[in-house]
Structure 1
């Protein structure tokens, strides 16, 4: 798995909330780093791309590296307070130096967004990669325990079976045994729910099957008052995948299947009012997807 390179420092931050009908979404950016495009996208031939392409300009590129943020999303729906994904976490031993023993102001981000950890009732994992489960647990001085004790934590059977099985051993070796400190404590506490990949979380929120990046990968859809939002998870790591939807990352378990799922998602939301919430775009800025006459798609950021 490619080793990332630290980008210029950028503080953890909450991003301006976006309303989808009666639902409010606040992006929570844990940190910002950058990756070598050749390693992140092994099938990418940069010589085929115009250096002036929109997706190779700031804020998406920096010093010939791709900029990738680590983010989660706070979702306030009627009667519900949810998190979609949970970042890398703090104080966790990781082989990756960018992920190792971090000390980011996570609780301060939540409080700035107007919520206490005790108020969160559901944590939805789009998938169980190391950078999506970290803040699900905290260290209580002797062991890792659920960070949101009032919450149910949701994943799919295909996802949990894969990551706890022998097939994923190679990835666990590369990433560190993050399941032991970030996922299994949830299971031991009886708070991890295995749900269908099209599970409805609330009247406004449901899961959408999107296999490929990982076997049980899902997107999360909001529909409220005639408006729609979709949390992409890792279906779209970087805007270059809007211009080249067939391009999958080195992180994808099944690259071809991931490309099919990504293309289906983009076809579905392109040229509509649906808002895409990307987990890894700089500042996690939501946006709308538009078909590009030159091929692929473009991104129109929205801030409200």
Structure 2
């Protein structure tokens, strides 16, 4: 049963098709993730709340989902461009800090190993060329990496730590009236 009745769920069509058991694909883990599709994807699709996108999807003037295949056929990254600031939220593109400096290394879960390497090189190259922060999902700690090109790979130029958000009295007042 969908939890958020007014939500629209943005899903890459390639992943929807790949994980849908009706299509007969055989993922590396077999049916290891099947319960996720049956429990969390199929119900919102049946309810008509899913928007399947291909190649890319603009969320608003600053946020865009971009296809980043390799880890799975429909893997994606979220890019943020606001004024001169840029960031790319890389999700499953990176599972280890080693992959920041040597994008040739894959996790054991990449459905298309060569595609994952090519996508990692492309996204890290964009981040280096555009001075974008790379925001990983799977690395320990809190922060984002600034990367630069180094030979055939990349180097971590620096880490941009995220500081905890401190609520102010104005925030408390705002929350009470919102």
SS in 1 for 2:90: strand
Question: Are 1:150 and 2:6 counterparts?
Answer: yes
For 1:75, the equivalent position in structure 2 comes to none
Would the aligned equivalents of 2:28 and 2:109 in 1 still touch at CA under 8 Å?
no
For 2:147, the equivalent position in structure 1 comes to 289
Counterparts of 1:187 and 1:243, CA distance in 2: 38
Match of 2:57 among 199, 217, 220: 199
Matches within 5 A, 1:230-241: 230-241=88-99
> Could you give the per-residue CA deviations for residues 125-180 of structure 1, whole angstroms, max 9, x where no partner exists?
xxxxxxxxxxxxxxxxxxxx333333211112211111112113663522352211
Q: How far 1:244 moved relative to its partner?
A: 1.8
Counterparts of 2:132 and 2:119, CA distance in 1: 17
Q: How far 1:238 moved relative to its partner?
A: 1.2
Match of 2:122 among 228, 253, 264: 264
Q: How far 1:285 moved relative to its partner?
A: 2.0
Aligned positions, number: 160
Counterparts of 1:169 and 1:235, CA distance in 2: 17
Matches within 5 A, 1:61-100: none
Q: Which runs of 5+ in 1 are unaligned?
A: 1-144
SS in 1 for 2:5: coil
Matches within 5 A, 1:31-180: 145-164=1-20, 165-168=23-26, 171-180=29-38
Q: How far 1:253 moved relative to its partner?
A: 0.5
Counterparts of 1:303 and 1:169, CA distance in 2: 36
Q: Greater relative contact order: 1 or 2 (C-alpha under 8 angstroms, separation 6 or more)?
A: 1
RMSD: 2.1
Q: How far 1:182 moved relative to its partner?
A: 1.3
TM-score between both structures, scaled by the size of structure 1: 0.49
Counterparts of 1:208 and 1:185, CA distance in 2: 25
For 2:112, the equivalent position in structure 1 comes to 254
Q: How far 1:271 moved relative to its partner?
A: 5.9
Q: How far 1:280 moved relative to its partner?
A: 0.5
Would the aligned equivalents of 1:197 and 1:218 in 2 still touch at CA under 8 Å?
no
Looking at secondary structure, tell me which structure has more helix per residue: 2
Q: How far 1:247 moved relative to its partner?
A: 0.9
| Cα pair distance change 1:269/1:217, threshold 3 Å | same
Question: Are 1:187 and 2:45 counterparts?
Answer: yes
| Cα pair distance change 1:207/1:294, threshold 3 Å | closer
TM-score between both structures, scaled by the size of structure 2: 0.80
